[in-house]
Amino acid sequence: MTRSSFDDALAAAECLHKSHPEVAQFTVWDDAAQFQSLEPHWIPSAKALPLDVGLRDGRELVGYSAFCAPAANARWRSTYKDADIGKEFNQKFGCYQLIGAQGHFFSEILNTYLVYAEKGLFYPWHHHPAEELYVIIAGEAVFEAAGRPARRLGPGDTAFHASNQPHAMTTKDKPVLAYVLWRGDLKTPPVLTPAEQKP
């Protein structure tokens, strides 16, 4: 049961990599990615994601259900556990690594995450050395990045963030589920952008 939900998510990811031109251009697919058994780490998103009807507006991509299915057994991250980001953020935001060194499927060449934010969340300005591509799977959010106008993105849309380019995300009246890819420096985690460096 547990394993099959992760296999389904991997199959959905492979389909996305092979059908979405910007994903295919961003990175190669890893046919050798190997399932590794990880201890689940529970956060509120583990329960909220599969129940969030706001994601199901008829526009969600084909892989939406498969990316939600592992939620209860995923190793959700606590990236901002100790950051000055507010309690509400960690109640409404979740991220698990599907593919990568610490992902449910081990890969040395591919790093992908599922990112979920409930409606009404501000993901403050942050940055990281890795280049990043967001692909919206369901719902919508407003994406901001230094040097670029804010954009409201929905299913199939993408947002690219260059190395250390500050960016922020806001959900309004809908939640968002995104498939996120990293390349480059994978070891340095995101940090909140200091006030003096914000756009």
Minimum CB distance to Fe ion, residue 162 (Å): 11
Comparing CB distances to Fe ion, the nearer of 118 and 132 is 132
Query: Quick check: 60 binds Fe ion (CB under 5 A)?
Result: no
Closer to Fe ion by CB, 69 or 136: give it: 136
Nearer to Fe ion, 16 or 133 (CB): 133
Nearest-approach distance from CB 180 to Fe ion, in angstroms: 7
With CB under 5 A, what is the number of residues at the site for Fe ion? 1
The string of DSSP codes covering 57-110 is SS---TTHHHHHGGGGGSBB--TTTTSSS-HHHHHHEEEEEEESTTSSEE-SS-
Q: How far is the CB of 123 from Fe ion (least distance, A)?
A: 9
Choose among 137, 133, 136, 155: nearest CA to 145. Answer: 133
E-strand spans in the chain? 34-35, 93-99, 105-106, 111-117, 122-127, 131-139, 141-145, 148-153, 158-161, 167-170, 176-183, 191-192
Residue 190 CB, nearest approach to Fe ion (Å):
6
Q: Tell me the per-residue interface mask from 93 to 132 with Fe ion, x by CB under 5 A, - otherwise.
A: ---------------------------------------x
Residue nearest to Fe ion (CB): 132
Strand 148-153 to 131-139 pairing: unpaired
Q: Which of residues 130-189 bind Fe ion (CB under 5 A)?
A: 132
Cβ at position 105, least distance to Fe ion in Å:
21
Give me 129's structure tokens: 């050395």
Q: Quote the tokens at residue 187.
A: 């070891």
- Residues of this chain that bind Fe ion (CB under 5 A): 132
